[in-house]
């Protein structure tokens, strides 16, 4: 992971240096919140998380414009359900001020004074947004003196408001959310405290193969779970019954284990597992040694011996990266492994970073939100970073920081 990736201008630095006063600031936020059928916002975490950047700019005397995508609109075809109107209402409530919603804003023609904030309608309705069209990006860039990217969840997409505008705006910087994500990812992967332990779990090796390969070159222990662990068990010659696995990827699993062993690192294979004949809340969960899985068994969790061994490992870690629950944790009798590892991560002195939808659900279920050092809300961006990919939003901000 190149260090240069993390050298970006930061909004907080510009604010402290008085460089926002009287300036037009455009913030690309991630306000893509869930809504019910009537358009009411059902969960507003992303909006709340985006407010510190807005408040920072207002306090610094800037004229503030905020935009975001919402849902999956068709470019050039605005529909009422695509509107950020409910978001504007929620921001107004949170900031205790008027937040006008501006439509058809690309060509300007609207007013925003220092100390005011406006919301610019759904940016993905603009023709050329998804293709990162230079002509569109240049038009948007003329609206501002300072461009701020505070939408880490879109950092892996090269779009006009996430990448293009950053190329053409007079100044381009990272907002507090983006900067915090960069700092956490940098600490976890660019310069980690050892031992570095990664937990990668999920149903398929194929969907996480590039992540597994990228991490296998960096980590000291690579804990695998779910269907991924079953494929690694197959690679070790263990029986897995009718468990979810990908037999055609056994060679890749062996390669990863061999590569790690050559440099003194490991993929710990379960020594016991929890099995059932069906995946159901009513299924009877049986604990069996890993070499005694019957033909009609499905492996649905790691066993208590394995969970205890992994927990000890996590207690002595320097850095922990967590992506994916270890079993079918939504059903309590198959959640023991994930619950035990969640507790181990919560109590470990290691720097811990977690990301991915199922991982966040497990963190919420076991109530350890305040005991994980950094929870990434990035989803796809978090996964692509773990794969070792350079994210377009990071890349352009790092490039502009050299100006």
Binding-site residues for (2R)-3-phosphoglycerate, in ranges, read 46, 124, 157
Annotated binding site: 30-32, 46, 69-72, 124, 157, 208, 330, 356-359
Annotated binding site for ATP: 208, 330, 356-359
What is the rounded distance in angstroms from the CA atom of residue 394 to the CA atom of residue 173? 10
CA distances from 161 to 71, 164, 264, 352, 393 (A): 15, 6, 44, 31, 10
Task: Report the residue count for the chain.
Answer: 403
Listed residue (154, 185, 148, 160) closest to 400, CA to CA: 148
Cβ atoms 162, 149 nearer than 8 A: yes
Write out the catalytic residue numbers.
46, 204, 357, 380
Residues 6 or more apart whose CB falls under 8 angstroms from that of 142 comprise 108
Residues 6 or more apart whose CB falls under 8 angstroms from that of 256 comprise 212, 213, 216, 222, 267
Tokens of 187: 């600490």
Q: Say if residue 109 is exposed, middle or buried (CB neighbours under 10 Å; 0-12, 13-18, 19+).
A: exposed
């Amino acid at each position: 992971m190149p260090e240069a990736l993390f050298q970006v201008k930061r909004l907080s630095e510009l604010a402290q240096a008085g460089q926002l006063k009287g300036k037009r600031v455009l913030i690309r936020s991630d306000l893509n919140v869930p809504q019910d059928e009537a358009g009411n916002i059902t969960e507003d975490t992303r909006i709340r998380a985006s407010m510190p950047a807005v408040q920072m700019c207002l306090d610094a005397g800037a004229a503030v414009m905020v935009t975001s995508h919402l849902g999956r609109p068709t470019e050039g075809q605005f529909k009422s359900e695509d509107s950020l109107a409910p978001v504007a209402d929620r921001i107004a409530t949170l900031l205790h001020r008027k937040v006008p919603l501006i439509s058809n804003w690309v060509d300007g023609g609207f007013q925003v004074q220092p100390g005011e904030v406006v919301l610019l309608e759904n940016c993905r309705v603009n023709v050329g947004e998804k293709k990162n069209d230079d002509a569109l990006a240049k038009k948007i860039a003329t609206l501002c003196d300072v461009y701020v990217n505070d939408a880490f969840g879109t950092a892996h997409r090269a779009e006009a408001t996430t990448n293009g505008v950053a190329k053409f705006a007079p100044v381009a910087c990272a907002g507090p959310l983006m900067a915090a994500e960069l700092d956490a990812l940098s600490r976890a992967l660019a310069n980690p405290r050892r031992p570095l332990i990664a937990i990668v779990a999920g149903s398929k090796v194929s969907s996480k193969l590039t992540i597994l390969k990228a991490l296998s070159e960096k980590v000291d222990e690579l804990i695998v779970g779910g269907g991924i662990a079953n494929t690694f068990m197959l690679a070790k010659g263990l029986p897995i019954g009718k468990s979810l696995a990908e037999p055609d990827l056994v060679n890749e699993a062996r390669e990863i284990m061999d590569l790690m062993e050559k440099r003194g690192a490991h993929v710990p294979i379960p020594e016991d597992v929890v099995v059932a004949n069906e995946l159901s809340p009513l299924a009877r969960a049986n604990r069996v040694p890993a070499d005694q899985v019957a033909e009609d068994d499905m492996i649905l969790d790691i066993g208590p011996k394995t969970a205890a061994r992994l927990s000890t490992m996590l207690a002595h870690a320097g850095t922990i990266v967590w992506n994916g629950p270890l079993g079918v944790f939504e059903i309590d009798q198959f959640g023991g492994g994930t619950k035990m590892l969640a507790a181990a991560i919560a109590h470990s002195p290691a720097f811990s970073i977690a990301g991915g939808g199922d991982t966040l659900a497990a963190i919420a279920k076991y109530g350890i939100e305040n005991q994980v050092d950094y929870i990434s809300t990035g989803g796809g961006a978090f996964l692509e970073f773990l794969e070792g990919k350079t994210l377009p939003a990071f890349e352009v901000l790092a490039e502009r920081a050299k100006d």
